Amino acid sequence: MAELHFFTGTMDSGKSTLALQTNHNHAARGRVGRIFTSHDRAGQAVLSSRLGLTHDALEVAADFDFWRYVVTSLTAGGRIDYLICDEAQFYTPDQIDQLAKVVDELQIDVFAFGILTDFRTQLFPGSRRLVEIADRMNVLQVEALCWCGKRATHNARTENGVMVTEGDVVVVGDVEAADEAPAEVAYEVLCRQHHRRNLTAARAKAVSLAPEPLPFG
């Protein structure tokens, strides 16, 4: 029986690497699949791993319909045995429901990979829906580490080196305000303690290098 699988973890936990490996394993057994992604770090229509591995993919926009795509492909004589869906946190809840329908009605396996929470520590809508309806949910065993060495559990966003906890969930391009230069946006994984304290690696280093006051007075 086909199933809807959800693989999740923080950034740097190997989700995209596992997505590529999953595709390789199934393709090596003669199965035919399709690869999807959304807002990948390497650009549109590509699935990329931080290890440097890449694969062509289909970009999932907000109006993309998985059910219509699969049915149209099968009707045209195509073969689809499984779907690889990376960056699934960016999919809409309706798109997750479409994936579930593909599994249930067409008996096509779906392997979804994504982050659970955003930089505000809130569930992504797509990930929340996957938690609610996936047949299997798997937390990746490769643990990303905070700068302090503890297990990283939270994703942090920085703008011009300063950690932020408000703003658009999906940032495409530069974050900027009127009459200001575009902000340099970066992401970092932190443990809960340092995310609560807004203490990134750069800020921790700056604090450690700051001169301590002399014990006078």
Q: Which residues are catalytic?
A: 87
Considering only CA atoms, which of 140, 150, 152, 147 is closest in space to residue 199? 147
Asked whether 153 and 191 are in contact (CB, 8 A), the reply is yes
Question: Position of tokens 């936990």?
Answer: 13
> Could you tell me the two tokens for 70?
């699969």
Q: How far is CA 71 from CA 58, 90, 131, 176, in A?
A: 16, 23, 25, 41
145 φ, ψ (degrees, to nearest 5): -115, 140
φ, ψ at 34 (rounded to 5°): -130, 145
d(CA 194, CA 103): 40
Which tokens go with 96? Answer: 């997750």
